[in-house]
Every structure is written in structure tokens, then in C-alpha cells.
Amino acid sequence: MPKLLQTISELREWRSAQKSRVVLVPTMGALHEGHLELMREARRIAGSDGCVAVSIFVNPLQFGPQEDFARYPRDLESDAGKCQSVGVDVIFAPSAEEMYPADRSIIVLETRLSKILCGASRPGHFDGVCTVVLKLFNLINPHDAVFGKKDYQQLAIIKRMVRDLNVPVKIIGCETVRESDGLAMSSRNRYLNDEERRQAPAIRQALLKAREHWMSGGRNAEVLQKIFTNHLNQFAPLHRLDYIACVDRATLEPLNEKCEAGLMATAVYFGSTRLIDNLEL
């Protein structure tokens, strides 16, 4: 089993004994194949001499008052077994009290990339993410950290944070892992009822449909977005669209007339479950 560390002092002691490359995969647990792929990538980067560290922490700071913090799945024992199966060396799983002093008064504020896309309907979410990720970087001091491209906005914001705050960690983005029907793997898929689960793969199909148009030369973002919504309306009547947008991959600024080498990003509700996905164009 990987070594389990639950306090900051245990973590510091462990870290000061590490001489080789440390690669971090930050998670909130409820691990699925998507996370395991990030860990395999971390293992490849760390090599046989290096160390793969996984953090498991359901970060209260990144959940809004109406969001699923309380019902977010937690099962450390099962997560530890999954970490073991892909060669993780160390798990850092602190309590909220360990991570956040009761009278804490400092957070990381992101002022641009977090105001759009998912950030528009989740105020404060990315500040919570940046705060916890920076704390994890300060505590674990990894050489590299691996994040999934499913949370593309998160990845872009973390890259921006390490650039703007001169954090000496290399950020690596990994491809999204999907179910056999194309639905992006997510801890939230388990909240879908049978009919919602049947319709949810239409998100991926709609993105691919828009990409077909892009591949044949279509560059107008509005048209690409229309193709996406038409497909979803037809094949996923239970959905409610939060947003669909064509944006620059680094700045996340909207691309309008000329959607070259950008990103199509979307968030879609089925009932109260919010799913996200994206496609690089």
C-alpha cells in the first residue's frame, strides 16, 4: 500500500527525506479510471527512482453553498487500493482542520480566467482551487504536477497561477479518459439516473459533430455552437445547457469569426448534475 500521511508534520518529515523527483497528482478522491491515468502518467514522469504523490482532499473552499460538498463521495480505503494498483508511493489525505486554520485570512484570487465559462456560474470556485493547489505545492514541493484536460479551465488557471506567482512546478495536462460510449469520466456521473446516463454521451457526440464542420473548413464560432446545441436538443432532451463556447486554449478569450486552433468547452446539466466536457479544435 502507498504510505498514508494525514498531517502536515508527517508530510514535511517525509518530504525532507526525498532526494529524487517528486510528481504530484492532486485529487479530491472518489478515484476513477481518469484519475488512475493521471497517476500512470505521473509514474512515467517520476521514473523508477522518483516518487508519485497523490493528494486526496475534498476542498471545502471550492464548493459553493448550493453545491455537493456534503454528498461528495469519500472512501479513503478504496481510493488507497486504486492508488496502489498504479504504483503510487505516497498519499496525503489531510482533514479540513489540518489544511485550514480556523482564523485563516488569506486566499489566492484569480481575476480574469475564472470569470467566464464554469467560473461564471461558480463564483469563487477557482479561487478555492488555486488556494488549495498552491498550498499543496508549498507543502509537497513537487517537481511536476499532473492535471486532467477534462477540467480545461482549471488547467489553464493553474498554468496561469504558476506563471504569475513564479511557482517552480511544471504543470502537465493529460487527455480525458472516457467511458466506452464517449462520456467523459467524472465522479459526478454516478448522480445521473438511467435515462440521464443514456442521454449524457450526446455531449461528446455534439462536440464531435461541431468538429466535423470545423475539419471541413468551418471557422465561425456561432455556427459551431449552433451545430452543438442542435445535436444536444435532438438527442438529449433532458439536458439544460449552461454554456457552449469556442475559446482560446490559453487565455480562454472567446473566438468569434475565426475559430482557429481553439477549444470548444461546455457545461450541461442533467437534473442537478452538472457535467463538463471540451474538445481541442
Query: Residue 125 and residue 60: Cα distance in Å, rounded?
Result: 10
Catalytic-residue membership of 213 = no
Q: Which stretch binds ligand PAF (CB under 6 A): 128-136, 199-207, 220-228, 257-265?
A: 128-136
26 counts as binding ligand PAF under rule CB under 6 A? yes
Q: x-or-dash pattern for ligand PAF, window 28-67, by CB under 6 A?
A: x------------------------------x--x-----
CB of 268 to ligand PAF, least distance (A): 18
| Closest alpha carbon to 270 in 204, 166, 189, 168 | 189
| Closest alpha carbon to 233 in 212, 206, 213 | 206
Query: Residue 50 and residue 72: Cα distance in Å, rounded?
Result: 32
273 counts as binding ligand PAF under rule CB under 6 A? no
133 counts as binding ligand PAF under rule CB under 6 A? yes
Q: Which is nearer to ligand PAF, 188 or 209 (CB)?
A: 188
134 counts as binding ligand PAF under rule CB under 6 A? no
| Closest alpha carbon to 14 in 42, 48, 53 | 53
27 counts as binding ligand PAF under rule CB under 6 A? yes
Cα dihedral: 45, 50, 56, 57 (round 10) = -90
129 counts as binding ligand PAF under rule CB under 6 A? yes
Q: Which of residues 212-251 bind ligand PAF (CB under 6 A)?
A: none
User: How many of the chain's residues bind ligand PAF (CB under 6 A)?
Assistant: 10
**How does strand 263-270 pair with strand 239-247?**
antiparallel
Query: Residue 178 and residue 195: Cα distance in Å, rounded?
Result: 19
132 counts as binding ligand PAF under rule CB under 6 A? yes
Q: Which is nearer to ligand PAF, 26 or 119 (CB)?
A: 26
On whether the CB atoms of residues 8 and 98 are closer than 8 A, the answer is yes
Indicate which residue of 35, 125, 231, 239 is catalytic. Answer: 35
Q: Which is nearer to ligand PAF, 80 or 232 (CB)?
A: 80
What residues contact residue 71 under an 8 Å CB cut-off, 6+ apart? none
Phi, psi of 164 (to 5 degrees): -70, -30
151 counts as binding ligand PAF under rule CB under 6 A? yes
Query: Residue 158 and residue 55: Cα distance in Å, rounded?
Result: 16
Interface with ligand PAF by CB under 6 A: which residues? 26-28, 59, 62, 129, 132-133, 151, 154
User: Which residue numbers are catalytic?
Assistant: 35
